[in-house]
Chains A and B, each alone.
Chain A
Amino acid sequence: MTKHTVASVDEIPEGEVMGVEVDGIEIAIVNIGGEFYGIQNVCLHRRQRLHTATQERINEEDCITEGPGVINQEECWMTCPGHDWKFDLKTGENPATGKRMRTFEVSTEDNEIQVEI
C-alpha cells in the first residue's frame, strides 16, 4: 500500500466531497466533521459519480430540497446524486441491501490529504 497525496485539507470543507483520480482509480474524498473518508467514486448502480453530490443545480435557488446528493455528517453516510443510493462512508455498505462500494484509508499529514492504495 502506498500513500498518495491528493489534496490539501482546506480544499474540502466539512460536509463536502471532492473527486480525485489516482492512477486511474476514482475516489470520492468526503470531509465528515474534519475526518476524511475515501469511497469509490463510481456508483455501483449506474456509474454516476459520487463527487457530484454537492454540484450546484440549474436554478439551485428554486429547488425545494438539498441535492443532488446528500452528505450526512452525524451518521457518516452519503447518497449518490444519481438515484439516492445510500452508502456508509466507513464501510462502503448500502444499508438496505448489503451491497458494498470499495473504501480507501485516508489520513492527513502536514495539511495534506493522503489516500492509501
Chain B
Amino acid sequence: MSVRKFEPSENTGIPEEVYDEFIIDTDVHLDLQMLDDLYPYMDDRIVDKLDRPLGDYQFSAIDWLPTWGNEGGGVGVDSNGAAKTGEDILEMMEQIGIDVPLVTPGMNSLPQVNYPRMKEEVCRAYNDYLLEKVTSVHENIRGQAMIPLWDPEATVEELERIGDEDDIAGAYAWFGKYWRLGNPEYDKVYEKLLELDLPLTLHLDVASYPDPSTPNGGAIRTWIEAIGFAPAMHAMMNAVNMIVTGVFDKYPELNVVYQEGGYHWLPFVAYRIDEFYQHTPEDIQLAERMYDQGKKYLDRMPSEYLFDNFYFSTQPVCLPDSNRHYEWLLEIEQAENTMIFATDWPHSTNDPPTWIIDNPAIDEELKDSLFRGNAQEVFRI
C-alpha cells in the first residue's frame, strides 16, 4: 500500500503536459480592487473625487453579481487571487502553466461610470501602471491597453499615446450595451488599430447584464440569465452590426476578439445572417458607411466576415457531454481559425488549460491553434 499526502499547493490538477506546452493566455485579469493603486498616475482632480468614502460608488453600483448564485458568497473576481503586479502574474504563470499572459484589466464596470473625463483618466492611468508595474517585469508578460471606447476621439488619442509600446499586444474594451460598433464614428478607431497592427478586444462588462429598466431586464431573476445569456446577445448584436454596416469591407484586415461573449452561437448567427442577407439585402446601402462609399451590397457573404475577422476566447468553455458533438461544434465553428485560449484567471469561471490536454476532440493541430497559433496571428506578439 502506498499513501501520499498533498500540500494544498501541490497536485492542483494541472498535469505535467500543460507545462510542456507553449501557452498564450489571452485573458488574465489584474485585480478589480486596484483603483487606488492608479492614483499616482492620475490627475489630482480625479483622485480628489475617488479618494474619499464611497468615492468609487459608480464603479461598484452593479445590478448583477454571482454573490447569491453560488455558495462561495463572492463576487467571483478573486476566486483564485488578486494580481496587482508583474511579480503576481509570474506566480500565476507558474501555477497554471502559462508562458505568455496577455494581461487584461479587472475594472469591467468602467463603461457605466457617468463622467467621461474620469474614466478616460482611469484608462490612461491603468495603461501607464500596466507598462510600469506589470509588463516590465518579464519579457513574456504582455498587456492589452484599456481604451475609452465610449469616445472614439479619446480612444484614438490614447492609442496614439501608448499604442506603439512593444508590450501592448491588443486594445481592450467591452461589447456591452452602450455602443454599436458599426457606427461610422468608430472608423477612426479602426484606422488607428490597423496602423498599429492591434486587434480590438471586446470583453464582457457589467453593462452587458440585463438592464432592469427594460421589460426584459426587469423580468430576469437569476445570475444564469445575467451572465450566461444577456452578454452573448450583445456580442452577437455587435458582430452582426459591424458586418452588415460594412466595417470589414472597408477594413478587411481588422480583427476583433471576443472575450466571454460565448461562441457556440457561431453557427446560429452564421446561417441566420446569410439567410436574412439573401432575403433582405436592400437596406444595407442605407447604413452610413455603405452609403457614403456608394456601396450597395457587402463584398462577401456575411458569415465569411464572422469567421475571418472575429476571434473568440475559449473561456468559459461549455463542453457537451458527447465528444462526437464537440467535434462537430469545433468543425462548424471553424475552431482552428477562430478560437484562442483564455483562462480568465482569477475569476470564478476560469478555465485552466487542462480541458484541452487529452481532449479526444482536439488533435495536435487544433491544440496548436488554440494554445498559441491563433493568438500569435491576431495579437501583436
Contacts and interface: CB of A to CB of B under 8 A. Distances in A.
A1 interface: no
B78 A51 contact: no
Contacts of A62: 31, 33, 78, 82, 84
A17 B31 CA distance: 27
A2 B2 CA distance: 13
Interface stretch (B269-277, B296-304, B306-314, B349-357): B349-357
Nearest to B357: A47
A82 B72 contact: no
Interface stretch (B3-11, B123-131, B164-172, B326-334): B3-11
Interface string A21-58: 11110100000000000000011001111011011111
A64 B6 contact: no
A6 B3 contact: yes
A51 B83 CA distance: 22
A84 B79 CA distance: 9
A65 B31 contact: no
Contact of B5 (A20, A58, A65, A72): A20
A84 B70 CA distance: 7
Contact of B80 (A23, A26, A67): A67
B3 A20 contact: yes
Contacts of B75: 64-65
Contacts of B355: 46
Contacts of A82: 13, 352
Given A57-B81, A66-B74, A52 B9 contact: yes
A6 to B, nearest CB: 5
A111 to B, nearest CB: 16
B72 A67 contact: yes
Q: Output the residue of B12, B79, B346 with the most chain A CB within 10 A.
A: B79
A79 B70 CA distance: 9
A21 B4 contact: yes
Q: Output the residue of B11, B13, B348 with the most chain A CB within 10 A.
A: B13
A15 interface: no
A19 B5 CA distance: 6
B9 A55 contact: yes
Nearest to A12: B5
A59 B81 contact: yes
Contact of A21 (B3, B72, B74, B80): B3
Interface residues on A, range: 35 or more
Nearest to A24: B2
B225 to A, nearest CB: 16
A83 interface: yes
B71 A86 contact: yes
Interface in B57-116: 70-75, 77-84, 88, 91-92, 95
A7 B5 contact: yes
A46 B73 contact: no
Given A58-B82, A63-B82, A64-B33, A47 B354 contact: yes
B1 interface: yes
A22 B348 contact: no
Contact of B82 (A2, A5, A59, A83): A59
Contacts of A86: 70-71
Interface of A: 2, 4-7, 11, 18-24, 26, 42-43, 46-49, 51-52, 54-60, 62-70, 72, 77, 79, 81-84, 86
Q: Which 4 A-B pairs have the closest CB atoms?
A: A58-B81, A65-B74, A19-B6, A57-B81
Given A46-B354, A56-B9, A68-B80, 14 more contacts: A4-B3, A6-B3, A19-B5, A21-B2, A26-B11, A47-B354, A48-B352, A58-B95, A62-B33, A62-B78, A65-B78, A67-B348, A70-B73, A86-B71
